[in-house]
Structure 1
Amino acid sequence: MATAGIGAAVLLAATSGASAGAFLIRSQSAAGFGSALAGVAAGDRLSYSYWNPAVLGTIHDFRVEANAAGIFPSFDIEPDATTNAFVAGAGGTPSGSIDVGKNALVPSSYAAYALTENLTAGLVLSSPFGLASESPNNWAGQIYSRSSEIFSLNVNPMLAYRVNDMLTVGAGVQAQYFKATLSQAAGIEPGAPDAELDANDIGFGFNLGIQLRPWQGTSIGLGYRSSIEHDLEGDLTSPLGRFDVGTTLDTPDVLSLGISQAVSDRMRLLGTVEWDRWSRLDGDLPVAASNGAVLTSLYLDYRDGWLYSVGAEYDASDKLTVRAGIGYERVPLTVENRDTRLPESNQVILSTGLSYKYSNRLSVDLSYLYSFGVGDDRINIQDGNDRFLGQPFSASSELDVSILSAAVSYRFGVAD
């Protein structure tokens, strides 16, 4: 039987998130998800300030907003017959199709206050990066993954200044807590113990934005969220022992361009192009012990991600606005770096939503977003691949994700 000799102290992780490339989370706005995020950097909803701090310039009072997104992913992995035959011959556990996706709840909250006629302050509490996946303890790919958890908390105070009726600029700072816990089997045999990496850090970054209204009915926005360097420290535990370790991970820069164009008094067409600079993670991340010895590496080798979306919103009445959108995402993963933690492929995104204004003070947003994988979805870990741990692993995969989002917004100091 194969034993802990295959990857006993190795944790090689490529991680993925729902409705976003790799472990980026875009579930920050129920209203934005209603239009597949089309036009968010150019919009006027408080939660759109996540993508562009200049959005705060559209707010002239004191308001708060709370969002929550329920994420229901399905990430099916079906090992090939050749993989199962190898695993069975080596004393492991062959397996059919498994679903490694785990449901998650992602909250975010916002506040904005107009300090002067032209200056507005804002605060965003969000989770920009995250992941939750789990596979059976005994399965054909257990030496490549068992469970994956990434958690982040971002605190982002911002300011926006209205230069004139056409131009608003915004800026903010980010303080971000980041934690990763990744495990896989230390051997191929049933009941093999885990090898687990657990590390965390607090890092800092910034965000910038601009919003331009060149003429009546047109808004163009450009928002930028900087990369944040995390010097992760924690421990690596395996049958060989426990080691204090550290590595450095840079989160991607995110650049979002949005446009909103009114086509009537009640209807607006929306568009977004977003660039996610995942190529910052374009190779191995060495995981070193406190004495500097490299114990293993996290092999990522990501390419940049892109999101393209278009949508529309229509004011059905003074109280009700309805939205819909469609998008396409090119994710950072390809067959060269896709693995079993969450085997993401390029995605098509469909969404719909609504906003209802109960009064001048209180309004709610609801949305439903569905994304599904398209194109190449193969996992192929063979000799010569940096992820290879002595066991060839080939599989097909299938992705689909449903996300239900809701938000409540309240304005202070206005009459009902």
Structure 2
Amino acid sequence: MAAKKARVLTLSTTATLVLSALAASQANAAGYQIAFDSVGGLGRAYAGEAAVGDSATSMGRNPATMTLFERPAFSGSMIYFDAEIDVTGNSAAQSSSDIIPSQFVPASYYVHPLNDQMAVGLGLYANYGLGTDLKNDFLAGDIGGDTELFTVNINPAVAYQVNPMLSLGAGISLVYANGEVNRHYGGGAGNFGTQASGKILSWDGDDWAFGWNVGALFELDESNRLGLSYRAGVDLKLEGTFTDFSPGVAIPGGGSTTAVSNVPLPAIAEFSGFHQLNNKFAIHYSALWTQWSEYKEFSASSSDCSINGGICFLKPEKYDDSWRWAIGATYQLNPAIKLRAGFALDEKAGDTTVSIPDQDAYWYSTGMNYQLDDNWSFDFGLAYMDRSDESFTETSLFTANHDYTAKGYLLIVGAQANYRF
């Protein structure tokens, strides 16, 4: 009986510390944003995406580019990334390798010109997602564990050419999102009579929400275009099941309840340029801004989490608006083959932590387009994302302060089929 009382007392007095140590986000170049929305773009490090308009995928970045199409067009892509990101502490128990699971990212787009001035389109793709997965017996299990965010964006859009120099576009987005979080005892397992890989808590939830995007395309002449686009932020309200596996952390007596988490998908603005210098060579560039300062905390709440005043878990975040800079080139090798290359700097958005190893990323990309005939073409892309080494200190309830280093890279490959009707 004395041991049981001691366990309950320990859980009660440390509940707030456990909750404040929990983190949930996804690891990518900046926060939990995805840039893998086309293979043609992948080959040029996504430089010029709001202005190039060489396939139906461009409507996802800038709906105004749909006025460039004289025939209906479809693009379907599949991108695979293999991530090798390691978090290293001062021992094997405080380290975890390959913490970002490799993934396939599909996307599809359709553009249909209605007349010489107007076009409509539909995109099915993702702007945000990915996840982290540290080993279950990671010593700082209360700040490690696994986290996942999955989103799908269904984006119908319309574009109108105001005059030969200016086109405008707008779209609405129906966004589906699903999130999941699991945290473990790690080095605190002995205090609670359980295994290091045992769960402290878990949560999963989903939501549907609406958003919108707009764009403008400025055609200076047949060889020079500028694009400007804006995608509004979306406020998700993920609702799902929160489970307290340790009575005294959040729910008296433990158990499960319905909990709600507010997760923002930040606004994005992009400026791009495309310049066909001669009949073989073109350059393109982009500056993309993301309003990460809107992301201030990750938390979930329920009236059943009465131990902490309705808070099931809470993790303050330190995020600032970030920029992505890209430059690329295209070379027409022959009538059938177009070569691409690009470089980009993806600035980190937030403080680096065990569960969010956010890092500056440098993209080195190459790719090609193969024109099979007047209707079919195929894109292939390859990119190496070199992520900066980040050293940081983080506090775990069970292991106190520890120094960590996050380092690694992503290898990204993709293929895309394009058809013009």
Which of the pair is proportionally richer in helix?
2
Q: Deviations along 1:247-290, whole A, 9 cap, x unmatched?
A: 22221101111001121111111110000111111x23442104
The answer (yes or no) to whether the contact 1:256–1:275 under 8 Å persists in 2 is yes
Aligned partner letter, 2:363 = I
In the other structure, the counterpart of 1:183 is 182
Aligned partner letter, 1:229 = D
2: CA distance, partners of 1:111 / 1:43: 16
Q: 1:294 to 1:59 in 2, by over 3 A?
A: same
Matches within 5 A, 1:114-193: 114-186=113-185, 188-189=188-189, 190-193=196-199
Q: Deviations along 1:340-397, whole A, 9 cap, x unmatched?
A: 22412111110000000101111000000111122x6023113xxxx86773232111
In the other structure, the counterpart of 1:54 is 64
Corresponding position: 1:231 with 2:244: no
The answer (yes or no) to whether the contact 2:85–2:98 under 8 Å persists in 1 is yes
2: CA distance, partners of 1:126 / 1:389: 40
The answer (yes or no) to whether the contact 1:47–1:110 under 8 Å persists in 2 is yes
The answer (yes or no) to whether the contact 2:22–2:142 under 8 Å persists in 1 is no
In the other structure, the counterpart of 2:403 is 394
In the other structure, the counterpart of 1:38 is 47
1:10 Cα deviation (Å)?
A: 6.3
Q: Deviations along 1:5-26, whole A, 9 cap, x unmatched?
A: 36666672242344x4111111
Matches within 5 A, 1:2-401: 5=11, 12-18=22-28, 20-44=29-53, 45-80=55-90, 94-186=93-185, 188-189=188-189, 190-239=196-245, 240-281=254-295, 283-290=296-303, 293-334=310-351, 338-374=352-388, 377-382=390-395, 391-401=400-410
1:319 Cα deviation (Å)?
A: 1.3
The answer (yes or no) to whether the contact 1:100–1:342 under 8 Å persists in 2 is no
2: CA distance, partners of 1:301 / 1:95: 23
Q: 1:279 to 1:389 in 2, by over 3 A?
A: farther
1:151 Cα deviation (Å)?
A: 0.6
Aligned partner letter, 1:409 = N
2: CA distance, partners of 1:278 / 1:296: 21
In the other structure, the counterpart of 1:90 is none
2: CA distance, partners of 1:280 / 1:121: 31
In the other structure, the counterpart of 2:192 is none
1: CA distance, partners of 2:63 / 2:353: 36
In the other structure, the counterpart of 1:87 is none
Aligned partner letter, 1:263 = L
Aligned partner letter, 2:62 = N
SS state at 1:214 partner = strand
1:405 Cα deviation (Å)?
A: 1.1
Unaligned runs of 5+ in 2: 190-195, 246-253
Q: Percent identity?
A: 23
Q: Deviations along 1:90-124, whole A, 9 cap, x unmatched?
A: xxxx2445221211000000001111221100000
SS state at 1:196 partner = strand
The answer (yes or no) to whether the contact 2:19–2:314 under 8 Å persists in 1 is no
2: CA distance, partners of 1:298 / 1:121: 42
Q: 1:357 to 1:134 in 2, by over 3 A?
A: same
2: CA distance, partners of 1:241 / 1:394: 34
Q: 1:314 to 1:197 in 2, by over 3 A?
A: same
1: CA distance, partners of 2:173 / 2:126: 12
2: CA distance, partners of 1:145 / 1:373: 20
Farther-moved stretch of structure 1 (26-35 vs 392-401):
392-401
Q: Deviations along 1:146-196, whole A, 9 cap, x unmatched?
A: 211111111000001111221111000000011110111145222332411
2: CA distance, partners of 1:23 / 1:368: 21
Aligned partner letter, 2:316 = Y
SS state at 1:55 partner = helix
TM-score, reference length from structure 1: 0.89
1: CA distance, partners of 2:24 / 2:317: 6
SS state at 1:32 partner = helix
Q: 1:305 to 1:392 in 2, by over 3 A?
A: same
Aligned partner letter, 1:257 = F
SS state at 2:220 partner = coil
Unaligned runs of 5+ in 1: 85-93
Give the aligned CA root-mean-square deviation in angstroms. 2.2
1: CA distance, partners of 2:42 / 2:79: 10
